[in-house]
Structure 1
Amino acid sequence: MFAQVPPLIRRNTALFALTQSFTGAGMQFAYGFGPLMVMELTGSASLAGLSVGLIGVSRFLVAYPAGKITDTYGRKPGIQLGLVLALIGTLTLFTAMRQQNVWIFIVGLLIFGMGMNAAQQLRIAAADMYPPKFRAQALGFVALGSLVGLIIGPIMIRISEAIAPHLGQDPLGLPWLMLPVLILAGMGLATLVRPDPKEIGMNLQKYYPDYVPAHKADGSDADRPKTDFSARELLSNSRMRLAIVSNCAANGNMSIVMVLTSLVLHHHGHSLGAIAFSHMFHSAGMFAFTIPLGRLADRFGRERVMFPGVATTIVGAILLALTSHWWSVTLGTFLVGIGWAAANVAATALIADHAPAEHRGRAIGVNDSFAGATSVFAALVTGPLIDWSGLPATGLTAVLLAAVPFALLTSQRRTAAAQGGT
């Protein structure tokens, strides 16, 4: 792939991957230890899903506005704004744990979540710089940068567990004081990207002389008159609806599993370090295979990777629902991670193919807003479901949530068959 990519774009892609490397540890903390932070601050397991729900709320609130900003002013300003918000959020979360104040925690996690989700315009920036035949692989390459965060996260947690008692700090709070160094490094790397990826995306022929925009009925990368972005028009396309629903299903499944993993392992007496390593495997599933998954999506089609990805999250959720050993729980959460990666890379590439560069931020913002809303629902029902029905019922809820796109696909095929027979 990269032998055919101009050096400037290879350089920009590497910078974005490194930016993702430095900033990825923060989301690992938020997902992996957020439920434990809530339990410490509130003393209630029924509120354990609050942290993942807040991240979903922040994603819902910021995804479309961030897309609007980057469509208007370029991808870099949106990414940098997100990282500034994330920096403020880390310091607020440290303060919350130091003062044992759940309201400061809520504010801090909302700010941090909005910042990190706005910074995910990195994905759109990667999509901008590549023609469709390389686009999913490019998304995978940038996502792969998060693997460095997998190494950094457990190391920081181990250090925190070791030194927090001597410093009089909460071991769940101290890591948030370490993250600003990584975020500042990511901001510096993103500054070096030139020109802005949106400019590249609007002039792909300049960078890929052999590239010819496809003239398709759905408007994918087509030379057409400029029009205002319409979310309704996006959702009227059956392939876009399936992409968005599949991404929502994978995200909702993962939100439930994120909460369950920490609670199950904590319930069975595993240390914070053991929980961190379990989440490391989950995150490895999310990011370690993004390049080959992207290559498969580029070669065989987006749907042929997207739907098997959602199906894999179902298998992972079943393991988590019906087993309790560290290795089986970790295998389940790993499968959910790799299934989410397949669904996310393929769905994002499919939407990016459909939307022209000047609309791409908002198009993917619509997708992310729906995914955020689904994550809020999934995370907030997790705690009460645990109290009312126990862990297995909660895991089976994740299974049912991930089955929705298959029901929609079946319905669409039946409708098409009925119309074809009339």
Structure 2
Amino acid sequence: MTSTAPDTSAGISPRPETQRRILAVLITSQILSGAGLAAGITVGALLAQDMLGATDLAGLPSALFTAGSALAAVAVGRISQAKGRRPGLAVGYLTGAIGSAGVLAAAVADNPVLLFIALFVYGAGTATNLQARYAGADLAAPAHRARSVSTVLVATTLGGVVGPNLAAPTGDLAESLNIPALAGPFLLAGVAYALAALVLAIWLRPDPLLLARSLHARQLAAAESAGDTGPAPVQTETLSPTLMLGALTMILTQLVMTAVMTMTPVHMHDHGHGTAASGLVIAIHVGAMYLPSPLTGWLVDRYSRTAVAAAAGLTLLTAGIAAAAAPGDSVALLALALALLGIGWNFGLVSGTAMITDAVPLATRAKTQGLVDVSIAIAGATGGLASGLVVSTTSYPILAISGGILSLAVLPAIAATANARPAR
């Protein structure tokens, strides 16, 4: 790293236990929110289909989650910018809990319009779950920044795995309360999101972003009192290429991953596989998205952000080739392809997050991170919507290969960024 990079020395806790405590609080909230996040994925489409009596709009819940997530990413980013991570994340999760309650009310009233509004609000939990990774990096030393991000990410896995497995018990509980069984997982989501908000509101102290700003201000004051007349630590114009590369890496990986993942269950159904088989493949894929995070974080810190970003593009290409070449009746090969797809996404998210955090000065960090996550959400929605069109007009193998080739766009972007870096 060059000596002019902003914030690479800022935001380092003088007490390592402070960062460890913050990570412990974030991990707890992520485990809880992961369970809430899984509800919409598990039964959102089924609940809409049941209430509407048709499948035409069954895909709308996914689009509403994404739209709500995009709007919430801006709101959470702006609140965090003005007040700190603690209120930003807590408000985001609380909004997700309110959306979950709205889904329950819509199910009881059998009101599809209320259901769709509530699902849009529920999407705030998704955005907040993703933005929590930035809080893990605020106080991390540059050499450990990606590992801190990955620690927060991997915590989502436990809740995300436990949540879907509680669909049946929560359905039984819902019926005992005279609520439709399919709405049961949203009972869990509401409680999980509310508890995550409570954990953050009470225990995320000191606020990592506010403390990082305070430490940075002290460093500037110390440098000024020592008569340091060197360049100002914040030189955002020299970091624009890094910022753009980090955003592009995450947008591309989200677009490709969502497109291929969305159509894989449909592809399997067309080849005679049941929901158990497709559920297994998707479960392996989700595990591969989050479980490698600690290793990915170490790789990013040990080698470089751009090396792992390049690996993301190559891994997604391999996943696309594997998915296209896998026979339709081979669950094992499709599972392998989707596992590679998840790993490629993980590479892109962790490396891209580290680049964004490196590049953005503390004064505007949270706001910029929120805007980047809006772009990621839009990319996911675009991938999901476009994937159906591509498969209907061509085929699933064409979609998979096209996605893999598109992911290689990160390579020339890395080369262009390297050439655009200012001289030392």
TM-score band by shorter chain is 0.7 to 0.9
> What is the distance in 1 between the residues matched to 2:114 and 2:270?
26
> What is the distance in 2 between the residues matched to 1:11 and 1:243?
28
Deviation at 1:298, TM superposition (A): 0.9
The worse-fitting range, judged by mean Cα deviation, of 79-88 and 329-338 is 329-338
Choose which of 213, 216, 221 in structure 2 pairs with 1:202. Answer: 213
Give the equivalent residue in structure 2 for 1:181: 191
> What is the distance in 2 between the residues matched to 1:318 and 1:204?
48
Contact 1:154 1:277 in 2 (8 A): no
> What is the distance in 2 between the residues matched to 1:129 and 1:395?
39
Choose which of 118, 123, 126 in structure 1 pairs with 2:133. Answer: 123
Contact 2:93 2:124 in 1 (8 A): no
Residues 345-372 of structure 1: CA deviation (Å, up to 9, x unaligned): 1111111011122311122122212112
Deviation at 1:224, TM superposition (A): 4.0
Identity %: 25
**Cα pair distance change 1:382/1:365, threshold 3 Å:** same
**Cα pair distance change 1:97/1:380, threshold 3 Å:** farther
The answer to whether structure 1 residue 246 and structure 2 residue 256 are counterparts is no
The residue type equivalent to 1:259 in the other structure is T
The answer to whether structure 1 residue 334 and structure 2 residue 344 are counterparts is no
Residues 161-185 of structure 1: CA deviation (Å, up to 9, x unaligned): 7788898866543212222222232
The answer to whether structure 1 residue 357 and structure 2 residue 368 are counterparts is no
> What is the distance in 2 between the residues matched to 1:113 and 1:122?
15
**Cα pair distance change 1:62/1:182, threshold 3 Å:** closer
TM-score (norm 2): 0.80
> What is the distance in 2 between the residues matched to 1:314 and 1:305?
14
**Cα pair distance change 1:206/1:183, threshold 3 Å:** same
The answer to whether structure 1 residue 260 and structure 2 residue 263 are counterparts is yes
The worse-fitting range, judged by mean Cα deviation, of 104-113 and 365-374 is 104-113
Give the equivalent residue in structure 1 for 2:383: 378
The worse-fitting range, judged by mean Cα deviation, of 107-116 and 33-42 is 33-42
Give the equivalent residue in structure 2 for 1:216: none
**Cα pair distance change 1:337/1:176, threshold 3 Å:** same
Give the equivalent residue in structure 1 for 2:66: 56
- Listed as ranges, the gaps of 5+ residues in structure 1 are 213-218, 417-422
> What is the distance in 1 between the residues matched to 2:391 and 2:383?
12
The residue type equivalent to 2:125 in the other structure is G
**Cα pair distance change 1:273/1:50, threshold 3 Å:** same
The answer to whether structure 1 residue 316 and structure 2 residue 319 are counterparts is yes
The residue type equivalent to 1:154 in the other structure is P
The residue type equivalent to 2:381 in the other structure is V
Give the equivalent residue in structure 2 for 1:134: 144
> What is the distance in 1 between the residues matched to 2:218 and 2:324?
49
Contact 2:213 2:363 in 1 (8 A): yes
Residues 211-258 of structure 1: CA deviation (Å, up to 9, x unaligned): x9xxxxxx9xx6349xxxx9xx69x82222222111101111122233
> What is the distance in 2 between the residues matched to 1:21 and 1:358?
30
> What is the distance in 2 between the residues matched to 1:197 and 1:185?
20
> What is the distance in 2 between the residues matched to 1:174 and 1:368?
29
Residues 65-118 of structure 1: CA deviation (Å, up to 9, x unaligned): 321210110101011111111112223334455666553343222211123303
> What is the distance in 1 between the residues matched to 2:264 and 2:39?
13
Q: After superposition, where does 1:70-81 map in structure 2 within 5 Å? A: 70-81=80-91
> What is the distance in 1 between the residues matched to 2:380 and 2:126?
15
TM-score (norm 1): 0.81
The residue type equivalent to 1:373 in the other structure is I
The answer to whether structure 1 residue 344 and structure 2 residue 355 are counterparts is no
Choose which of 375, 392, 400 in structure 2 pairs with 1:395. Answer: 400
The worse-fitting range, judged by mean Cα deviation, of 342-351 and 191-200 is 191-200
> What is the distance in 1 between the residues matched to 2:177 and 2:275?
18
The worse-fitting range, judged by mean Cα deviation, of 238-247 and 402-411 is 402-411
Contact 1:94 1:177 in 2 (8 A): yes
Question: Cα RMSD (Å) of the superposition?
Answer: 3.5
Determine helix, strand or coil for the equivalent of 2:205.
Answer: coil
Deviation at 1:276, TM superposition (A): 4.2
Number of aligned residues: 396
Give the equivalent residue in structure 2 for 1:278: 281
> What is the distance in 1 between the residues matched to 2:116 and 2:284?
27
Which ranges of 4 or more aligned residues in structure 1 deviate by more than 6 Å? 161-169, 205-208
The worse-fitting range, judged by mean Cα deviation, of 178-187 and 317-326 is 317-326
Deviation at 1:124, TM superposition (A): 1.9
- Listed as ranges, the gaps of 5+ residues in structure 2 are 1-13, 224-230
